[in-house]
A and B are shown apart, each in its own frame.
Chain A
Amino acid sequence: MNGGAVPEIPKPPTVYFHSWPGETILSSPAPGQPGLWLVKVRVPQMTNHSSGATPITVLFDGVNSNTATVWVQ
């Protein structure tokens, strides 16, 4: 160490299903696909949410993504 600033490693992204966060299992560059990132996430239990179209967003390093939809049952 030479006294320089320690690089800050951002936390893994969090995927929200509605407002429920999923458990992020993997976050890495997508193999063989430059420019894309791969996130593996466990769908959370969503109390009082029926199955069907579910909005998802990603929060990464304090920045929110667009909203997309997955279908959950």
Chain B
Amino acid sequence: MNCLHWLGLGLSLATASYAQVIVNAGAFEESRPVAPNSLVAFGEFAEATPATANTLPLPVLLGGVEVLVGGEPAGIYSVSKTQVNFVIPAAVPALRYAKRFPVVIRTNGGSPAVTAYALIQDVSPAILVRDAGDALRPAAAFNADLSQRARPSQPDQGN
């Protein structure tokens, strides 16, 4: 039977061959670029004060943390000591072919700071997954009635 699925797609993904890696926050793959206007993740920033944004547009200072991508301030979704989620600014000049941009994650005031690198290109689609630790990578997909189709532990009960 045909049914409709909504699929959330982060249009990008980034990676760096350095110790600090920026990845698409949906797919968490390190092997492809990220794109402007896409949600990404950075790990391990011990100086962060855990916080989650509750306003739009997203704040550029959250939990005492700010992120600069190629010098452009990024809107931040959430910060914790193990992960910072932010959006690659639209102003970053993405190219058809990936180019490496510096990403500075720092506390308000500028120190201490971590410099990572994001490989950015104009288009880099990625499907959101619900559990990056699941080998089957279940997609963040919904039925047409917006009910969720989680990975079943038994045969599907859906429509």
Contact = CB atoms under 8 A, between A and B. Distances in A.
A27 to B, nearest CB: 9
A63 B13 CA distance: 12
A25 B4 contact: yes
Interface of B: 1-11, 13, 24-27, 29, 32, 37-40, 56-58, 75, 77, 87-88, 122-129, 136-139, 141, 144, 149, 151-152, 155-156, 158
A22 B127 CA distance: 15
A13 B127 contact: no
Interface in A38-73: 38-45, 51-53, 56-73
A63 B5 contact: no
Nearest to A29: B37
B27 A66 contact: yes
Contacts of A65: 9, 27, 125-127
A36 interface: yes
Interface string A1-42: 000000000100101000000100100001011111111111
Interface of A: 10, 13, 15, 22, 25, 30, 32-45, 51-53, 56-73
Contacts of B127: 56-58, 65-68
Contacts of B124: 63
Nearest to A66: B27
Contact of A37 (B3, B5, B11, B155): B11
A59 B123 CA distance: 10
A34 B138 contact: no
Given A66-B29, A68-B138, A71-B152, A58 B75 contact: no
